Amino acid sequence: MSGLLGVVLAGGRGRRMGGPKEGVAVPGGTLLSRSWNAVAPAASRVVLQGLPDAPAGMEPSPDRRQDGGPLAGLETALLRARTSGLSGIVVLAVDLPRVTAPVLLELIRRWRGLPDPAARAVVPRTRRGLQPLAGVYGAGLAENLSRWIDGTEGLAAQDWLDSLQERIEVVPAAELEDVAGHSEPFLNVNRPAHVERALDLPPAAPPVVSVTGWKDAGKTTVAVGLAKELGARGYRVMALKHGHHFRLDTPGTDSHRLRHESGAERVLLAGPDQMALMGGWGHGGELRVTRLAARYLSEADVVVAEGWKREPLPAVEVVRRGPGGPDPIGDLAGVDQDRFMVRVIRGGTGSDEPDDGRLRLLDADARDLFSTLANIVEERVIPGVRWSRGGEGGR
């Protein structure tokens, strides 16, 4: 399974915004940093499409056609992916800051499941119609797009999508809100008033990295070490853990009485130096991890989530080598493999060499394990946070 080229579409003149949009501040960073954060975990390589240069740490990719609009950017990226032997592109326009990595990873999962995905595309449908600038396109569509641009006076991406007919898979935006963890994930920000709208909406989910694996693989040790290292680097780190049948309230305490005798669905304990929320889910059932992160941990620079094997999150997998052990989750059929970035191996020899070009293998006993993992998370999960806050020199 070859990887995807990540494409952040930029370079528009920003007439309606009153200037270039890339540096416009929105919740969680800038338009550019938010988009880069969403694409980086989902792709083998990321380019800033449409600009002749880019901030440090971002690779520029000028359009091969001048003044061709978004379609020229898609064409250049598709041709580049095909030349590089990649399966296709995952693309996000810079003015869609509420699209997050889990949304793109979910679109990729659906695209991988199509027959002949190299010749197919997956895009969301919002209330305004198809959203061609947040989707996945197979590299086999490159020549089709070039012929379309050469043979028509119109350069509307919507018209090209309509011409693809059965080769396009449409995903209703409503199916992606829960994956995003917040409302209006496809809000388009291309006017100053749209920035105000973004500020009024509930917060988008912060970047989340999952530390996952089978039971007793050693997930907690890796999650704790990674969170500690990221915190030492100056990031505001928060954590989530998935579990079963646990209880935090102790019978006989006032908090236990307040919850169970009053009938209150949830109880929030608050003190000068700590807080805790206890209770049930109510009628809606368990929330997805991105909903939890957006609702309770929105102030984090990065969230380390232990568990959630099958959620579309950028992931570190912890495996324990041994005879008769289970296959790694990231190798199982039907699992969205694109989200797995690195595999930490316990009870065996890891390596810094790529495994089939998709995963890095690391030894759980390596002295620099957590430093290496934090480097990967900085590069793939929170690169835009680092750039937007630290300038071109990083944090």
Are 345 and 255 a contacting pair, CB within 8 Å? no
Are 169 and 75 a contacting pair, CB within 8 Å? no
Are 123 and 117 a contacting pair, CB within 8 Å? no
99 closest CA partner among 49, 154, 40, 150: 40
- Residues 38-65 have pLDDT tens digits of 999 989 889 999 888 778 778 889 988 8
Predicted pLDDT at 371: 97
Q: Mention every residue, 6+ apart, whose C-beta is less than 8 A from residue 358.
A: 1, 3, 44, 337, 340
State how far the Cα of 243 lies from the Cα of 124, in Å rounded to an integer.
32
Mean pLDDT over 352-379 rounds to 82
- Residues 100-127 have pLDDT tens digits of 999 999 999 999 999 999 999 999 999 8
Instruction: Classify 208-393 by CATH class.
Output: alpha beta
Lowest mean pLDDT among 74-78, 157-161, 248-252: 248-252
Predicted pLDDT at 133: 94
Predicted pLDDT at 36: 92
Predicted pLDDT at 387: 47
Asked if pLDDT for residue 210 goes beyond 80, the answer is: yes
pTM of the model: 0.87
Predicted pLDDT at 90: 97
Burial class (CB in 10 A: 0-12, 13-18, 19+), 99: buried
Asked if pLDDT for residue 394 goes beyond 70, the answer is: no
Predicted pLDDT at 385: 57
Structure token pair of residue 27: 């919740």
Percent of the chain whose pLDDT exceeds 70? 89
Q: Which homologous superfamily does the CATH classification assign to the domain defined by 4-200?
A: Spore Coat Polysaccharide Biosynthesis Protein SpsA; Chain A (3.90.550.10)
Q: Mention every residue, 6+ apart, whose C-beta is less than 8 A from residue 136.
A: 4, 88, 89, 90, 91, 104, 107, 108, 111, 121, 122, 123
Mean pLDDT over 94-102 rounds to 92
State how far the Cα of 371 lies from the Cα of 248, in Å rounded to an integer.
32
Predicted pLDDT at 191: 78
Asked if pLDDT for residue 349 goes beyond 60, the answer is: no
Question: Is beta strand 4-9 parallel, antiparallel or unpaired with respect to 45-49?
Answer: parallel
258/308: higher pLDDT: 308
- Report which residue type is found at 126: T
Predicted pLDDT at 18: 66
Asked if pLDDT for residue 247 goes beyond 90, the answer is: no
Domain boundaries, the chain: 4-200, 208-393
Predicted pLDDT at 167: 94
Asked if pLDDT for residue 391 goes beyond 60, the answer is: no
50 closest CA partner among 3, 91, 103: 91
The SS3 of residue 373 is helix
132/279: higher pLDDT: 132
Lowest mean pLDDT among 59-68, 200-209, 383-392: 383-392
